[in-house]
Chains A and B, each alone.
Chain A
Amino acid sequence: MMKLFNTILIGITSGSIYSLMAIAIVLVWRSTRVINFAQAGLALASSFVGFEVLTRTGSFWIALPVALLAGAGMSAFIEYFFLRPLLKRSGDESQEIFLPIIATLGLLGVIKAILSFIYGDQNGTISPPVSDKDFIVGANSISMSPMRVLILIVVIVLVSSITWLFQKTSIGLALRASSYSPEISRLAGVRVDLIRTCGWAISGAAGSAAGMLQTANGSGSLSPDSLEFSLLLVFGFVAAVIGGLESLLGAVLGGITLGIFISFVLMYVSGSLVFISAFLILLLVLYVRPQGIIGKKVGRRA
């Protein structure tokens, strides 16, 4: 019984990190209809920025916002200089629909290679800012530590501020309008290009938060080839698809669902089947409910 409870707790914490990554993917998808496979690279790069700030100042609380800003800046940079010209030019020619996907993969490679140049084989470390010792209740230790509580708080704060931004501000309205119909938004005076760059920037910030928290929650070490970031990319994508790729709430639910599922596989089946089980759950969702768990039923021919 205790094991079951702990499994669910671990799943919720790691799932909340996947939610952030899923939100990052969903935001980019909504603003430009591109899956940004460079997202993991951005998260990695901004985590390294966070690591540099952390070693210089010694404070996680300065490092995290700086990393978020760095992620937002890099993401906006990529949108402005790479994706925007590419999407402008390619139009809807059937030959060229893969170009954005391939371009983001190329960017992922470039980011990783540059980081490898700078850091080589040495690893960065982001140690948890608060204790990661499990709480003890009675005779049992439960899988919830101050660090995990912190992660949940950070995720909740970020998700609710993004939701607030989307629902209550004029930028959010412009974001929703330009993803709903770019042409009409343009007619209504929305600067769609600028708003898209905004969407990418917010997504970059969410992704870098995921990177920082994932590193601090996991091994704490940060290397350009670390598995944790391909994990983050794949799980973020799977979580986003479970949520339907369109809604923020869906991304959060998808992340938590995936986190709990993965945690069960990890605790009850085997560690080496984690990745393939993510693939299987992705196939299952795409077969049974391609519009995602809370999506409306629409065609999936994008």
Chain B
Amino acid sequence: MHKLKANNITRIFAFLFLALLVYLLSNHIDEWRSFQGATVMFYVVAIASIILLTGYSGQISLGHGALVAIGSYTAALTQIYLHQPIWMCFVASVLVTALFGAFLGFAAARLSGPYLAGTTLALAVGLPSIANQFRILGGEQGINFDVGWPPKSLGADFTQYKWFFWISALATLIAMWWLHNILRSRYGRAWRAVHKNEVAAELAGIHVGRAKVLAFTLSAGLAGLAGALLAMTMNNVSPSVFPLYLSLSLLTGAVLSGVTTLGGVMIGAVTLVAIPEIATSVSSRWGDSGNLATYLPNLVVSVLLLLTVFLAPRGPIEKFRAHRSTPERISQTKSKAQ
């Protein structure tokens, strides 16, 4: 019990430290880096939502891009038609997407691995094209989501993207804090039990279907938040923002981060943002016409995905931990046995 409390305090400090880090960082980087920072935050939330779903509750989704799209459109529509303040748009995104996730979850709870993968894939391909059908969604041009300039009180030289970065970072820290706690609650334990062994979980009194639907709902809520962040950073919401590739790269990010632990979530997010940048600089050094810069990121991301699957299927963090702790654990169990 004492240990748990100590952990809690450490965690509070860890999060405060992260917040401070983001604050200091945001003061020393230019517009482009701030934009990248905001994008990293979007990826962190989106990847965390996949980790919650896949790593903890054992359901796979190839369609999180579609949920992100719902979040983005909700944020923009709330602002345009309901004239709500920005934070209300974020809340609306989370709620509406979570509601949609609950509907989807009822279908998903009945499906196992490959069926669920295919169904969510169909959703990812299908949903964004709806925007062309209804005029309210703005067709190919899409609709705008304008957070507005940073408040005057922050000073005149406080830039637009720095403001986006701050909002994203704050939202991300809150979301991660909440997710971290819920994964340690009875719900988190129930999800892990269901994932490990459904029959055993059922015997232990866990309602398997309910646990799965709840996981899907919360994961969708997070994806909705990510969608609002993306809409804010992009300023615009249109079907082309959510290609199938987005869903797949989110899944890639989750796998790179190590899908079974929340701890590595930054790895995937930073990798996804860094790879295009590195590809651009590499190709400009080789004096390439731009062909390389366009297609190299996809290749690198896919190859990384395959390498992770084959070399460290539970992600780099788990790999590292397993590597370090195996001898200790063995000696511990031995001493206990004696």
* Residue ranges of A at the interface with B (Cβ–Cβ < 8 Å): 29, 34-35, 37, 82, 85-86, 90, 94-99, 101-103, 105-110, 112-114, 116-117, 120, 230-231, 233-234, 237-238, 241, 270, 272-279, 282-283, 286-287, 290, 300-302
Partner of B251, one of A95, A105, A110, A231: A105
Task: State whether A237 touches B121 (Cβ < 8 A).
Answer: yes
B60 within 8 A of A: yes
Given A109-B305, A273-B130, A275-B127, 18 extra CB contacts under 8 A: A34-B114, A37-B121, A90-B313, A95-B313, A101-B113, A102-B305, A105-B62, A105-B305, A107-B306, A113-B299, A117-B291, A230-B244, A241-B118, A272-B130, A276-B129, A279-B119, A279-B123, A287-B110
B112 within 8 A of A: yes
A-B contact pairs, 15 of them (CB 8 A): A37-B62, A95-B313, A102-B251, A105-B251, A106-B309, A108-B248, A109-B302, A110-B306, A120-B295, A234-B125, A272-B129, A275-B129, A279-B125, A286-B110, A290-B110
What is the CA–CA distance of A102 and B112 in the complex, to the nearest angstrom? 15
Partner of B114, one of A114, A231, A302: A302
Task: State whether A117 touches B295 (Cβ < 8 A).
Answer: yes
B195 within 8 A of A: yes
Q: Using Cβ atoms and an 8 Å threshold, which residues of chain B touch A276?
A: 126-127, 129-130
Partner of B117, one of A86, A101, A231, A274: A101
Q: Using Cβ atoms and an 8 Å threshold, which residues of chain B touch A37?
A: 62, 117, 121
Q: Using Cβ atoms and an 8 Å threshold, which residues of chain B touch A290?
A: 110
Known: A94-B197, A105-B251, A110-B302. A279 touches B126 (CB 8 A): yes
Question: Considering only CB atoms, which chain B residue lies closest to A283 in the complex?
Answer: B107
* Residue ranges of B at the interface with A (Cβ–Cβ < 8 Å): 54, 58, 60, 62, 107, 110-115, 117-119, 121-123, 125-127, 129-130, 132-133, 195-197, 244, 248, 251-252, 255, 259-260, 291-292, 294-296, 298-299, 301-303, 305-306, 309-310, 313-314
Question: Considering only CB atoms, which chain B residue lies closest to A299 in the complex?
Answer: B112
Q: Using Cβ atoms and an 8 Å threshold, which residues of chain A touch B121?
A: 37, 233-234, 237
Q: Using Cβ atoms and an 8 Å threshold, which residues of chain B touch A231?
A: 125
Task: State whether A98 touches B60 (Cβ < 8 A).
Answer: yes
Q: Using Cβ atoms and an 8 Å threshold, which residues of chain A touch B298?
A: 109, 112-113, 116
Which are the 10 A-B pairs with shortest beta-carbon distances? A109-B302, A275-B126, A113-B299, A106-B305, A276-B126, A272-B132, A106-B306, A35-B114, A116-B295, A279-B122
Q: Using Cβ atoms and an 8 Å threshold, which residues of chain A touch B305?
A: 102, 105-106, 109
Q: Using Cβ atoms and an 8 Å threshold, which residues of chain B touch A273?
A: 129-130, 133
What is the CA–CA distance of A234 and B124 in the complex, to the nearest angstrom? 10
Task: State whether A286 touches B301 (Cβ < 8 A).
Answer: no
Task: State whether A286 touches B133 (Cβ < 8 A).
Answer: no
Q: Using Cβ atoms and an 8 Å threshold, which residues of chain B touch A300?
A: 111-112, 115
Partner of B301, one of A90, A102, A109, A234: A109
Task: State whether A238 touches B299 (Cβ < 8 A).
Answer: no
Q: Using Cβ atoms and an 8 Å threshold, which residues of chain B touch A99?
A: 309, 313
Question: Considering only CB atoms, which chain A residue lies closest to B306 in the complex?
Answer: A106
Known: A106-B306, A116-B298, A270-B133. A95 touches B260 (CB 8 A): yes
Task: State whether A101 touches B133 (Cβ < 8 A).
Answer: no
Q: Using Cβ atoms and an 8 Å threshold, which residues of chain A touch B306?
A: 82, 103, 106-107, 110
Task: State whether A120 touches B291 (Cβ < 8 A).
Answer: yes
Distance (whole angstroms) from the CB of B334 to the closest CB of chain A: 25
Q: Using Cβ atoms and an 8 Å threshold, which residues of chain B touch A98?
A: 54, 60, 113, 117, 259
What is the CA–CA distance of A85 and B248 in the complex, to the nearest angstrom? 23
Known: A109-B305, A116-B298, A117-B299. A35 touches B127 (CB 8 A): no
What is the CA–CA distance of A29 and B112 in the complex, to the nearest angstrom? 14
Q: Using Cβ atoms and an 8 Å threshold, which residues of chain B touch A106?
A: 252, 302-303, 305-306, 309
Most buried by B among A98, A279, A302: A98
Task: State whether A301 touches B299 (Cβ < 8 A).
Answer: no
Question: Considering only CB atoms, which chain A residue lies closest to B255 in the complex?
Answer: A102
What is the CA–CA distance of A102 and B117 in the complex, to the nearest angstrom? 10
Distance (whole angstroms) from the CB of B5 to the closest CB of chain A: 30
What is the CA–CA distance of A86 and B303 in the complex, to the nearest angstrom? 15
Task: State whether A102 touches B309 (Cβ < 8 A).
Answer: yes
Known: A106-B306, A237-B122, A272-B129. A101 touches B60 (CB 8 A): yes
Task: State whether A94 touches B126 (Cβ < 8 A).
Answer: no
Partner of A282, one of B119, B132, B292, B314: B119
